Structure 1
Amino acid sequence: MFLGIDIGTTAIKLGVIQENELLYTSDLPLKTYGDDRIKFQKGDELLAALTAGILAIPAWMRQQITIISFSTAMHSLMPDNGKKQIFLWSDVQAASAIDRFKQTNLATRFYEISGTPIHAMSPFAKLLYFQETKQYPAEIHWYGIKELVMQYFTGKPFIDYATASATGLFDLREKQWSKEILNYLGIKATQLAPLADTTQAFEMLPEIRTLFDFSQEIQVVIGASDGTLAAYASYYSTDRTASLTIGTSAAVRQITKKIQLDQKKQNFCYYLKEDLLVSGAPSNNGGIVLAWAAEQVSADPAVFYETLPDLLTDTTPGANNLRFWPYLNGERAPYWSNEIKGGFYDLTLQHTRADMVRSVIEGMLLNIRQLVELVAEGEELSVSGGFFQTAALGKLAADIFGTPCYYAPQNEPIFGLYYLLEQPEQRIEENQAFLPDPVERDTYKRIASNYFV
């Protein structure tokens, strides 16, 4: 049996898989601390939740696990000072520092080296800020979530190439920490974790193996990052290279064999395995925008989601010329700005609550359309996330993107881990298809041409 562990920013998900079948799964919530600028988790709490989650797996199942591997959230940074304080991608302490850095010629250079957008989310930005403010000793080690769990299970704080390539510190071509970038920050490679390929196996510490009653044959495989693994799960299970996930946030991703970068819009490009990369563009504003609309705009938050199909039927494309900018949480691609704000535009006395709700949904999807055009223009999409469990929303997405969208519920990082390490026989299964209506596709093409101006 295979145990995949996906450590995200809101929860840890565990999955036991055997012969392509998910036998056991559980979700363990994680608490985030801080304020509107500082966002961090406590490493001890994360490890305690992870330990409890593994111990909750039936003993007979644990004893048959031969591989354990990890998917972790990207862009985390933990100063190794004993506190195990993990700063998350959503931490924006570095916003001012990175805005100043963007004005230099090195911003272009470092993006080309690393494939990581120049933004406050990245460990590069956080390190830049911490070095400027001298908050930590000059020789301190800098780790993240992946290094924390590898240290716990193996005694060695390794980081994989995929997670490292999202730090802004990694040379995507040389597959090593960038001397140029580290020199600029004034840190040494020895202050970062040693690197390993995503499929590299390690021995588990005997005391950890005993704690969980694992077999002596168990191997710890380092794994990759959640975004790259979600893209790979989609690719492996649907044979489509382009995928879209809309959860709280959203991301369009493309499996590629070549480094693909756009200096103006700054898509990301991260390592996955020896012959594959994942190019893509993330949005801060996915389901979180609908959750806001449910609470602040809808007549009854309790039935908001179940009434959406009827609302979309009763309103018209374009929401009677009402526009909504969905930037309620700043925005990453294609603007990379923490200052951009959301709002209604062209709002009049004639607009109804239903028009407002429809415009919120359209604005969110038209923003994601920009990312689809950047990463996967003209391609069919494999889609996943809670958003697409409502068929009417999936159909609207297909109309707005102007391309078929195929729902793929197996687009989970845990399955991406399983496919990456086990390479089981591919079983391409067609799931629910959302096909664009030609008339509404053309309508949204016209609307999209001047929506965000």
Structure 2
Amino acid sequence: MILSVFLGIDIGTTAIKLGLIKENELLYSSELLLQTYGDDRIKYQDGNELLAILQAGLLAIPIELRQQVRTISFSTAMHSLMPDDGRKQIFLWSDLLAATSIDRFKQMDLAAHFYKLSGTPIHAMSTFAKLLYFQENEIYPAGIHWYGIKELLMEYFTGETVIDYATASATGLFDLREKQWSEEILEFLGVKPDQLASLVDTDQCFEMLPDKRDLFGFTPDVKVVVGASDGTLAAYASYYSTGRTASLTIGTSAAVRQITKRIQLDQKKQNFCYYLKEGLLVSGAPSNNGGVVLAWAANHLTENPARFYKRLPKLLSETETGANGLRFWPYLNGERAPYWSNEIKGGFYDLTLQHTRNDMLRSVIEGVLLNIRRLVELVAKGEELSVSGGFFQTTELGQLAADVFGVKCCYAQQNEPIFGLYYLLEQPELMIEESQQVFLPDLSNHAAYDQIAENYFD
């Protein structure tokens, strides 16, 4: 008997990741780079190009593995918007066309109300903001359909234009309590419900189109499950595999997430709260400024950027906690939580002639972590964290994070959306094991960072 194989497809902002899993083991994986077009304001992908890259990636999977696939499901990046005008131009979360429109909207009383309805922060990243901009400027015909990456994939594989609750709940158009498009929000935008995709739960199954089955060599009994969004699935992967509800990922950007059974919203700081599955939501706070800031420091403050991470252990051992009083605001890429501003800027503070290049490098790292510390306290204060991302692959950075946050940090390799999909849909039996890499806070260092954090961003 051939055991069935699960195929997870994760469409991110920079790459498509494919993963085939059987009995909790990853059999095959690949990463296919995606091109983002535009400039400092406009950020979009070509949907036709995305589908072509995905098709080539699937055909590169050995045919004997493709013939064992019984379930296919999708993780997609949040906040995308694709006007259905035939061009398949997908505007991404990083697109800033709507910045001015959303800043005006923030001054209205409706902003707080819509945040409470949808659980989506009021920011230029959201589908709501993009729609607001396009509608205000009458860029597209009044009756045009509005879709996103998930709808593009579902239409390609099944012929059905649908979106799951999890991805929909990050659009800013979804009523989180009623699990339907918000009539109130759509009326404000001048958009009718039938201009959007149909809504389904994250475990809804569909038949694959026969021509796609034949193209990829899948069997007639293969099923397509709509899946969820990448952020919610990353959080679920951590929860399912480690038992911890709180997780932190620091890659290019960063996000703290918490699995919860009730809607958790903070009007002032605007954490997000998105649907995951029946009875579970994901609350969290994202930062634009994670590894991208360290990359900037490596390129501009070091003589040999390629050796930056190898030099970090020596750098941290030779510099003092607090970088000799030097502070660094890491907002080189604007910021989402807790500011939700594209205009905020970064920089060094209290810089003197006595400070060295190593002090500057240490302050950059500390500034990134002290900013994330505020998100940890907003979403998961005092809780153990399941951590992942390239940042934590440098042991000394993982230890520094634990010292700054003051909590146990356990590295978890499974914090990937594809495993989140697998756990969500297959519900396999797992033996929860303690992470082999655990970072325990040094109490004296944490006390020092407690004091530093009091006025760091004043």
Q: Distance in 1 between matches of 2:302 and 2:166?
A: 41
Structure 1 counterpart of 2:196: 192
Residues 276-327 of structure 1, C-alpha deviation per residue, up to 9 Å, x if partnerless? 0000000000000000000001231121111101100110110000000000
> Which blocks of at least 5 consecutive residues in structure 1 are unaligned?
none
Q: Distance in 2 between matches of 1:444 and 1:429?
A: 31
Structure 2 counterpart of 1:125: 129
Which of 69, 86, 94 is the matching residue for 1:82? Answer: 86
Residues 130-166 of structure 1, C-alpha deviation per residue, up to 9 Å, x if partnerless? 0000000000000000000000000011100000000
Structure 2 counterpart of 1:22: 26
Structure 2 counterpart of 1:337: 341
Which of 383, 401, 404 is the matching residue for 2:405? Answer: 401
Residues 58-92 of structure 1, C-alpha deviation per residue, up to 9 Å, x if partnerless? 00000000000000000000000000000000001
**Pairing of 1:252-331 with structure 2 (within 5 A):** 252-331=256-335
Code of the aligned partner of 2:206: F
**Pairing of 1:20-419 with structure 2 (within 5 A):** 20-419=24-423
TM-score by length of 2: 0.99
Q: Distance in 2 between matches of 1:300 and 1:26?
A: 30
Code of the aligned partner of 2:64: W
Code of the aligned partner of 2:373: R
Matched, 1:433 2:416: no
Report the alpha carbon displacement of residue 430 of structure 1 after superposing the two structures with TM.
Answer: 1.5
SS in 2 for 1:57: coil
Q: Distance in 2 between matches of 1:96 and 1:54?
A: 40
Structure 2 counterpart of 1:5: 9
Q: Distance in 2 between matches of 1:196 and 1:427?
A: 31
Q: Distance in 1 between matches of 2:384 and 2:144?
A: 46
Q: Distance in 2 between matches of 1:338 and 1:148?
A: 29
Q: Distance in 2 between matches of 1:278 and 1:259?
A: 9
Code of the aligned partner of 2:456: Y
Code of the aligned partner of 1:277: L
> Which blocks of at least 5 consecutive residues in structure 2 are unaligned?
none
Code of the aligned partner of 2:293: V
Count of residue correspondences: 453
Code of the aligned partner of 2:285: A
Q: CA RMSD in A?
A: 0.4
Q: Distance in 2 between matches of 1:265 and 1:44?
A: 38
Q: Distance in 1 between matches of 2:212 and 2:167?
A: 24
Identity %: 76
SS in 2 for 1:233: helix
Code of the aligned partner of 1:330: G
Q: Distance in 2 between matches of 1:275 and 1:310?
A: 47
Q: Distance in 1 between matches of 2:220 and 2:266?
A: 47
Report the alpha carbon displacement of residue 427 of structure 1 after superposing the two structures with TM.
Answer: 2.0
Code of the aligned partner of 2:40: D
SS in 2 for 1:50: helix
SS in 2 for 1:9: coil
Q: Distance in 2 between matches of 1:449 and 1:206?
A: 61
SS in 2 for 1:313: helix
Report the alpha carbon displacement of residue 273 of structure 1 after superposing the two structures with TM.
Answer: 0.1
TM-score by length of 1: 1.00
Matched, 1:449 2:451: no
Q: Distance in 2 between matches of 1:375 and 1:52?
A: 40
Report the alpha carbon displacement of residue 426 of structure 1 after superposing the two structures with TM.
Answer: 2.1
SS in 2 for 1:99: helix
